[in-house]
């Protein structure tokens, strides 16, 4: 039920998440009391009530039924609370609203708490979690996606903006599977190479041998130094 509500709030669209005071709108009707109670509880709990208020306005603007708005906003408040509980021990202080929003969206896309924690422990923050969400929405496997994003965030956070594009290029140009594309990016990152060198590592073994997709390629567990410790699930493809 909670995940259904999270998905619903994302499907409303819009990314304003603007500052908002108390929501007073006659269109809420009998649901106004429930909405205000949720915002009050969130504010007292130290959650970003402005995110909830903006979601109310968004729902009203899109003509969503008031009862549905109340349910979705309550679900979002619960999701923000869980996101804070996950993030706070790992970020050294109160997590910013943007990070909480990113975590909620990552969970709605299929990431588990351990996947988000992998990224936060590596020093990744809002942008890194957003990249994870983008990968999951494109069909990349969650475990290897989280480990790859975490590795890039820990090594060179500025390269995060290139992860999705490079992975998609490896799939389109080199015919890589989603897991193999991320594995190649992780190995390029681990070796201190630019992500644009991942195609070379995809075609050849990390030591220059042509075995990246051959019978010697490990397919489970944590891979050795050549892989940067990132394992791609399942069997690799045949050599190109």
pLDDT reported for residue 203: 80
Residues 149 and 75 both lie in one domain: no
Residue 131 structural domain: 110-240
pLDDT in tens, 149-172: 999 999 989 999 999 999 999 999
Per-residue pLDDT tens, the chain, 240 aa: give them.
445 444 444 444 433 333 333 467 788 999 999 999 999 999 999 999 989 999 999 999 999 999 999 999 999 999 999 999 999 999 988 999 999 999 999 999 999 999 999 999 999 999 999 999 999 999 999 999 999 999 999 998 999 999 999 999 999 999 999 999 999 999 999 999 989 899 998 887 554 444 444 333 433 333 433 334 444 444 444 434
The reply to whether 139 and 222 lie within a common domain is: yes
The helix-helix angle for 178-190 and 142-155 (nearest 10°) equals: 20
Does 101 fall in a domain? no
Residues 72, 155, single domain; the answer is no
Q: Are residues 86 and 133 in the same domain?
A: no
Q: Is 74 part of a structural domain of the chain?
A: yes
Residue 102 is assigned to a structural domain of this protein:
no
| Cα–Cα distance for residue pair 153/142, rounded to 1 Å | 16
CA-to-CA distance for 209 and 206, rounded, in angstroms? Answer: 7
Residue with tokens 């220059």: 208
What total of structural domains would you count in the chain? 2
């Amino acid at each position: 039920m909670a995940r259904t509500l999270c998905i619903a709030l994302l499907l409303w669209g819009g990314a304003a998440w603007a500052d908002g005071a108390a929501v007073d709108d006659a269109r809420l009707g009998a649901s106004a009391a429930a909405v205000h109670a949720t915002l009050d509880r969130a504010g007292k709990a130290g959650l970003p009530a402005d995110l909830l208020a903006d979601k109310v306005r968004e729902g009203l603007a899109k003509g969503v039924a008031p009862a549905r708005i109340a349910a979705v906003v309550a679900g979002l408040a619960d999701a923000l609370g869980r996101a804070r509980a996950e993030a706070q021990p790992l970020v050294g202080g109160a997590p910013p609203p943007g990070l909480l929003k990113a975590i909620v969206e990552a969970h709605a896309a299929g990431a588990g708490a351990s996947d988000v924690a992998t990224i936060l422990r590596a020093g990744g923050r809002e942008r890194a979690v957003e990249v994870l969400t983008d990968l999951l929405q494109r069909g990349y496997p969650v475990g290897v996606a989280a480990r790859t994003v975490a590795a890039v965030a820990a090594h060179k956070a500025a390269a995060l903006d290139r992860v999705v594009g490079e992975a998609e290029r490896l799939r389109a140009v080199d015919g890589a599977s989603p897991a193999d594309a991320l594995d190649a990016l992780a190995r390029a990152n681990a070796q201190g190479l630019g992500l644009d060198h991942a195609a070379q590592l995809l075609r050849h073994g990390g030591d220059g041998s042509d075995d990246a997709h051959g019978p010697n390629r490990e397919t489970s567990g944590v891979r050795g130094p050549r892989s940067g410790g990132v394992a791609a699930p399942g069997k690799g493809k045949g050599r190109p």
